[in-house]
Structures are given as C-alpha cells and as structure tokens.
C-alpha cells in the first residue's frame, strides 16, 4: 500500500508542476483553484502544496490526483471534506463555507 501511495504522490507532484513552473525553479504567480458542492468551497493553492498525500489517502473519493479535475466535492459530505482540509499540513487546502456569504 505504501508503494501505491508513493506512486500517487509522484503522479500528483508531476501533474501539479505542469503549468505553473517554468522549469528553472523560479516560482511563477500564485495559482488558486476553487471547487464547490454548493455548501463548501474548497480552495487549493498548488504552489503551497508540499505533496504530503494526506488529502488523497484520507479522502480519496474527493481528492484523487489521477482524476481531472483532481478534486471532486460530490465524493463526500461537507463535514468530511472540512475535516480533511483541516488536516492539510501546508494549508495549501483551505475552505470557505458558502453559508457565510
């Protein structure tokens, strides 16, 4: 299982860096991606992600680096999504409750 997780992290890492790195190691402008189920908005900053794999090991029905888009908010209920986001060690994942608007 650890090997599978390692492979996923490599895929995830490769996918994330497509499109925002110029290959020189210079970090280009911060990209923010947003995904919503109507109750919660999942906010992801790929430039902040440290590729720990915690999100997709913890809630693979929502966070799947092999899928496009890689975040599917319909894969779990809002409370489960919120709890998983709070476990992100880098804070690349944050959220906004849409009822707060």
Q: Contact at 8 Å (CB) between 31 and 46?
A: yes
Among the residue ranges 21-29, 30-38, 51-59, 69-77, the one whose residues contact ligand SF4 (CB under 6 A):
51-59
53, 60, 78, 94: which one binds ligand SF4 (CB under 6 A)? 53
> Which residue matches tokens 């720990």?
52
Q: Tell me whether residue 39 or residue 54 sits nearer to ligand SF4 (CB atom).
A: 54
Q: Contact at 8 Å (CB) between 100 and 38?
A: no
When asked if residue 92 is in the footprint of ligand SF4 (CB under 6 A), the reply is yes
CB of 54 to ligand SF4, least distance (A): 4
- CA dist 48 to 27, 33, 44, Å? 10, 12, 8
Which residues would be at the binding site for ligand SF4 (CB under 6 A)?
49-55, 88-90, 92-93
């Amino acid at each position: 299982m650890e090997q599978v997780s390692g492979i996923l992290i490599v895929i995830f890492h490769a996918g994330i860096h497509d499109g925002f790195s110029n290959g020189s190691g210079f970090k280009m402008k911060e990209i923010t991606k947003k995904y919503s189920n109507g109750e919660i908005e999942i906010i992801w900053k790929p430039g902040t992600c440290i590729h720990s794999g915690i999100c997709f090991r913890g809630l693979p029905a929502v966070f799947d680096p092999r899928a496009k888009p890689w975040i599917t908010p319909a894969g779990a209920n809002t409370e489960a999504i919120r709890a998983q986001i709070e476990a992100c060690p880098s804070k690349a994942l944050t959220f906004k409750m849409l009822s707060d608007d």
